[in-house]
Structure 1
Amino acid sequence: MPQLTNERNKTMVAGATAGVAEALATMPFEVTKNRIQMGHGPPAILLNARDTVAKKGVRGLYYGLQPQLLQVSAKSSLRFVAFETYQRMLPGSTFTCGMLAGLTEALVLVAPTERLKILRTAELRAGAHSAGASSSVFHAAGALVREQGVAGLWHGAAPTAARQMLANGLRFFFYDHFKAALKGVSGSAAIAGGMTGVVSVVLTNPVDVVKTRIQAAPAGGGLGAQVGTVREMIAAEGWVTLTRGMSARALKIGSGQAVIFGVFDCVKRRL
């Protein structure tokens, strides 16, 4: 593998490579998680995935892959670069640096691509030949901007930022501890990544459910309308709805973080 001399370049390449690997490996879990959180199809993981395949074929499990590939590769690269940058500014503050890295990636990239991905996944509620379904995520993006303006892409940015800040702070914090505990174990980076992914899911799932519901709803009305969406959801479905999609999300993020940290560690060491 060609040798890169700049440390930031190494981090960017390793992060982007890890992101692509994670997106390809976990997209079916992501689609299933989003559908369960939106109340589309059966609540069980395997039954929901089968419902997706029945409606859209196997390709339905990869609906939204285009923004997911863009998002996860760029997000992973940005996350690690931002984290290392903040660490130089705030040495020893792993949790805080992780939260700041999460805020950076959320506002720069995650909010608009998540909005497109959620809207794309929402199309699976209709039958395979529904009349309003967009032909591609790029068509959906164009239609969204025409109808709601560029700001429509950032609908739900606040809960997205909250989720990314908390999740990344927790992941970097626990990753260091888990990897230290696994010192000398083969594949310790991947194992520690998987463990920290599951922990972060349990602690952030309510925020993720709120984010998904807000992003799936039409834009407009500002913060008051978003709060109303959450109140209506809880009133109609109870507080238990905040646990929706946790199993699918644990599978997706646990395996995804194992891939991301494992690939990042391997690639960066070889650059």
Structure 2
Amino acid sequence: MNYRDTFSYTTISESLVDEHFGRPLYYYNTIGSTNIEAKILATSGSPEGTLIVADEQTAGRGRFNRHWSTPKGSGLAVSFILKSRLSNPQISQMPMLGSLATAYAIEQLCNTSPQLKWPNDVWIEQKKIAGILVETSYTKNLPEWLILGIGVNVNSAPLKVTNPYYDTSCLADIIGHKVDRVNLLQRLVHNVGLLYNKLEKNSIRKEWQKRMLWKNQHIEVIDSDQNPIEGIALGIEPNGALLLQLLTGEHVNIYSGEIRLRSN
């Protein structure tokens, strides 16, 4: 299959003409971090739906301040500015919204079914393909704006990062050919908009759990204090917490950490 990369401000803007989200559009050939730029724009008054896109991201960050690189021409590095529907229960669903929208977009374009790894990763064939980072600004304990950052390994994976919890891959390696990034981005923007309008209906968690990686399986959680906790992953609570059944039978909520499958 012949592949020609057409990723640019013009092609992206034209693909989003019928979308509610994605305007205004800020496109960068190279940027440090789309989330950092989004926070600057949100603070200066950019409206809801603003989309920041970069062809190359050199200083992206994920959870626990981990580096997430996007080499030129390789993937998607995008951030959305959101300002309404920002009650605390809805904010807790935003990582689920971002990962579910990414999974839908990939499935629609690539004919493969991604799974979702708690709390905010998209996996295919037991490898990480995409990650979500949500950052919120509060004024007097009230949410002012929220940044939804999404990074997807599309046509090449970043340089291998040593991580004991997962390996990474890219869509092209999995499906066997290059992927049109403009088309994938349009589908991503469309699905973010659709799911954003469903926040009040509390349907996102139900859909997320249908794709949950390692659901009802024996896992190990490494919590924020680096303590291991073993149990059965039962699902996700409305507040985004992982519901874990301990080996004693007790049910607990886990709010932060890394999970991995335990071998029997």
Task: Name the TM-score, length of structure 2 as normaliser.
Answer: 0.26
Between Structure 1 and Structure 2, the one with more helix by share is 1
Greater RCO, 1 or 2 (C-alpha within 8 Å, sep 6+): 1
Between Structure 1 and Structure 2, the one with more strand by share is 2
Task: Name the TM-score, length of structure 1 as normaliser.
Answer: 0.26
